[in-house]
């Protein structure tokens, strides 16, 4: 990438992380290495659900055309970005959840997030499952928004089965030797 003067501009730092490009609306602006785009007929309502139920914050809301914002950019934590755009679920620009894809985010606070989301979802809709432990030593919170998009917030399981941890350690160790 180069700037207006033709000088090279770094897009990643020495660790390979995207460089900070500034701030907008109190949020860090950086090249997003990954994000989801969710199409919905009611952009504003779905964006509000993510804010109220899951604690996302609005980074940016584009001006409305035909009563709906052209895009709402939401972020819960760094690299947990969602763009909500007008459209039919499953149509152009839609999330792939209609085809069975689930978007997963790393989250260290699944139990607290579940408690907040459950109480908010009672009023706002959507489905919040109880956090559950997986066989690969994570603790996952599964969420379905009112438009049917599925998300998983996953954290390290602090109370993993010691036998399971040992099996996983041996498997990973054997894989390094091959």
Instruction: Return the sign of the alpha-carbon dihedral for residues 34, 61, 99, 53.
Output: positive
How far apart are the C-alpha atoms of 158 and 7, rounded to whole Å? 48
Q: Are 47 and 74 in contact (CB under 8 A)?
A: yes
In the chain, where the domains are located: 22-177
Q: Are 165 and 173 in contact (CB under 8 A)?
A: no
Q: Which residue has better confidence, 139 or 135? A: 139
Q: What is the pLDDT of residues 22-56, one digit of tens each?
A: 888 888 887 777 788 888 899 999 999 999 999 99
Q: What is the pLDDT of residues 60-119, one digit of tens each?
A: 998 888 888 989 999 999 889 999 988 876 544 444 444 455 788 888 889 999 999 998
Kindly compute the dihedral angle of the four CA atoms of residues 27, 49, 98, 66, in this order, to the nearest 10 degrees.
-80
Q: For position 2, what pLDDT does the model report?
A: 45
* Fold exhibited by the domain 22-177: 2,3-Dihydroxybiphenyl 1,2-Dioxygenase; domain 1 (3.10.180)
Residue 155 confidence (pLDDT) above 80: yes
What is the maximum alpha-carbon separation in the chain?
A: 60
DSSP sequence for 73-112: EEESSTT-EEEEEES-TTSTT--GGGGT--EEEE-S-HHH
């Amino acid at each position: 990438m180069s700037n207006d003067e033709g000088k090279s501009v770094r897009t990643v730092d020495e660790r390979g992380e995207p460089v900070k490009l500034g701030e907008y609306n109190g949020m860090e602006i950086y090249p997003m290495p990954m994000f989801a785009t969710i199409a919905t007929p009611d952009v504003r309502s779905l964006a509000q659900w993510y804010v109220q139920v899951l604690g996302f914050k609005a980074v940016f809301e584009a001006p409305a055309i035909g009563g709906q914002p052209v895009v709402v950019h939401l972020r819960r934590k760094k690299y947990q970005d969602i763009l909500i755009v007008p459209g039919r679920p499953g149509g152009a620009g839609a999330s792939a959840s209609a085809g069975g894809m689930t978007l997963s985010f790393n989250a260290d606070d699944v139990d607290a997030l579940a408690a907040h989301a459950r109480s908010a979802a009672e009023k706002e809709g959507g489905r919040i499952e109880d956090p559950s432990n997986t066989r690969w030593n994570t603790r996952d919170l599964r969420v379905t928004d009112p438009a049917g998009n599925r998300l998983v917030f996953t954290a390290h399981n602090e109370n993993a089965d010691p036998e399971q941890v040992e099996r996983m350690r041996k498997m990973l160790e054997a894989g390094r030797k091959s």
